[in-house]
Structure 1
């Protein structure tokens, strides 16, 4: 028997699109919450139409998209025209019976649709009202549209990655900052729900794509804020510590070595690569001399690693105490045994596609396990269920709402 999730019984209404808001809702669904995604009856979530992303095909054989599925696993979907009074009244009815509301719409859109915080608190004073904006609730950018790469640019992230020897900024693909902000939003919602359980009072939860980017770069930004030192981008050929670097092996694959404690691990490293002669080379006898002669040492290690294929090095390093790992591409990472053993990648049944492998919940609990309860919902799949079972509408009323294109 599968144990219930830790937030079972919590109902969340989601009016959000693309990644940040929806992904937070999906995280809560994996913890047992009932998450009802409210979509426009004509357009739906914009991610349903995202058939490509950064030159990668996103469409699935059943007509859904990878981005939509990723951010909406485990939810219910209903359609509702919130630009009409009848649609707003239905939403207000749901709000009165719910615990939390999630959105990533801009303030002007929230006001226009009648789903701003002030309006919803008239229907449910103690609801947890959670917003993930692009840039924050205040300041000149507060009502601007945002996407992950734009926030990478604004937050300094595009000059934090890439090679130091290049003057060009480097953009990361894969919605990393979207998912980071979504995690912060879910974190804030859980904290607000816990506080409401203690006091009976709901509150607003605010985060943004930009706040998430700042948080993920806390060490980098604090290095500047506290000491006015810019953290340099990595450069492979001239890195200060060649034991924190990656090397190409004989088969063309790469291997990462990451050992900031170079004094402690210099001897076992040299022994593991079969180059104990380096221990007696005056250029490399201390951390300081290795820094001073890092270009020469990287060149030596390039030759060493190029002599054998990666798997040979991995077998040779097995049991070593210094830190290392193969540098995988996404296809290799997806098949890594460590991901499967810890259920970072799981199987979920899709009604139209069968068993599908996808990324699992980001945390696990021993007594009340997180799990993906079901596949991402089809467009408006649960509209009738929500109207009848939660709001008590008759079938005649449901039919009338459909005829008026309100749902």
Structure 2
């Protein structure tokens, strides 16, 4: 159990693991042999490290021109922050993400309580690599793809969060969020819902037994409802609070108002839609026992998922990978003895 964490398992399940000490010169030929078999080479060292190791993009692509070489960094390879140590909260701070989450009353910035920058950057990087592989399919040429966490997150939030700054010369620097967070208390829990269109607003008012709100001059039009958003949400929340969660969800669903109960993380596991999607799977993880994991989100009609496999130990496949590359037992034994490779 001490060898694995849930996070390690989630990001490494189903992979093969070879561990090389690249500070030892004997490791370089092994990595070159691996690169010769690869479609993609990915590295996320701080700027300057991969160059010192001799595997920078210029060097590698000169030797293998059809390779897609991916570099992921915190803020990019150049600029005043390029050599900063960066973790997810640093990027949330630099990208404006914490400003979006700021408390509307105190103005105090807040973090998202998950590794949003790390994981979103991984998704953007995967998309970029697929695009580069398609370009290679058409041209025969590989290329260097650079993705930074900072660039990713600013791009990610731009459409809605940076909308007030989009029009040059007409920026609105004083856009304040209303205190309401779109979570409504019921008599036994919490729900959320959206009533954007006029029809949804009418349906919401009727579901809450508040037809008087339909003619309320503060809420007669979408523009007025937006202008008086905080007041509107407070009035609605007071009306929601008298209903049990199941009852008000049933009424809103019957009226076709988008809604959902606020689920705890344990409740997610037993949610009927999650079960219908066959999303959560159990498997045996050596060193940890029986675990559960969410499958990959995408489904493919012609290449369906295989079952989720356990995560490897560090260097678990060092020996078989070297054997596949043509190394003989004596060479492998010496590499292990000299701690060029790690084998678990």
TM-score scaled by length of structure 2: 0.90
More contact order relative to length (CA 8 Å, sep ≥ 6): 2
Deviations 1:17-42 (CA, angstroms, capped at 9, x unpaired): xxxxxxxxxxxxxxxxxxxxxxxxxx
**Counterpart secondary structure, 2:4:** coil
> Could you tell me which of 317, 327, 337 is aligned with 1:393?
327
CA distance in 1, matches of 2:40, 2:94: 30
Are 1:221 and 2:162 matched, yes or no? yes
Q: In structure 2, do the counterparts of structure 1 residues 171 and 109 end up closer, same or farther at CA, with 3 Å as the change threshold?
A: same
Q: Is the 8 A contact 1:101 1:128 kept in 2?
A: yes
> Could you tell me which of 27, 39, 58 is aligned with 1:99?
39
> Hey, which bits of structure 1, 4+ residues long, moved more than 6 A?
none
**5+ residue gaps, structure 1:** 1-60, 240-244
Could you tell me which residue of structure 2 aligns to residue 375 of structure 1? 310
CA shift for structure 1 position 65? 0.9
Could you tell me which residue of structure 1 aligns to residue 183 of structure 2? 246
Could you tell me which residue of structure 2 aligns to residue 305 of structure 1? 240
CA shift for structure 1 position 159? 0.6
Could you tell me which residue of structure 2 aligns to residue 405 of structure 1? 339
CA shift for structure 1 position 366? 1.3
CA distance in 2, matches of 1:149, 1:331: 26
Could you tell me which residue of structure 2 aligns to residue 202 of structure 1? 142
Q: In structure 2, do the counterparts of structure 1 residues 221 and 348 end up closer, same or farther at CA, with 3 Å as the change threshold?
A: farther
CA shift for structure 1 position 290? 3.9
CA shift for structure 1 position 371? 4.8
CA distance in 2, matches of 1:329, 1:161: 21
Could you tell me which residue of structure 2 aligns to residue 286 of structure 1? 221
CA shift for structure 1 position 292? 5.4
CA distance in 1, matches of 2:254, 2:165: 38
CA distance in 2, matches of 1:298, 1:254: 14
CA shift for structure 1 position 75? 1.0
CA distance in 1, matches of 2:146, 2:305: 24
CA distance in 2, matches of 1:259, 1:297: 11
CA distance in 1, matches of 2:115, 2:79: 24
Q: Is the 8 A contact 1:100 1:128 kept in 2?
A: yes
Q: Is the 8 A contact 1:340 1:346 kept in 2?
A: no
CA shift for structure 1 position 355? 4.1
TM-score scaled by length of structure 1: 0.77
Are 1:77 and 2:17 matched, yes or no? yes
**Counterpart secondary structure, 1:85:** coil
CA distance in 2, matches of 1:284, 1:139: 49
CA distance in 2, matches of 1:299, 1:281: 14
Q: Is the 8 A contact 2:178 2:230 kept in 1?
A: no
Are 1:156 and 2:96 matched, yes or no? yes
CA distance in 2, matches of 1:337, 1:101: 40
CA shift for structure 1 position 62? 5.1
CA shift for structure 1 position 163? 2.9
Deviations 1:152-182 (CA, angstroms, capped at 9, x unpaired): 0001100101431122100112211111000
CA shift for structure 1 position 364? 1.8
Are 1:235 and 2:178 matched, yes or no? yes
CA distance in 2, matches of 1:363, 1:249: 34
CA distance in 2, matches of 1:128, 1:120: 10
CA distance in 2, matches of 1:80, 1:177: 28
Are 1:63 and 2:3 matched, yes or no? yes
Kindly report which structure 2 residues correspond to 1:44-59, keeping only aligned pairs within 5 A, or say none: none
Are 1:188 and 2:152 matched, yes or no? no
Are 1:257 and 2:193 matched, yes or no? yes
Could you tell me which residue of structure 2 aligns to residue 337 of structure 1? 272
Q: In structure 2, do the counterparts of structure 1 residues 254 and 163 end up closer, same or farther at CA, with 3 Å as the change threshold?
A: farther
Q: Is the 8 A contact 1:74 1:376 kept in 2?
A: yes
Deviations 1:283-334 (CA, angstroms, capped at 9, x unpaired): 4433344455555443432321111221221122222222112223333334
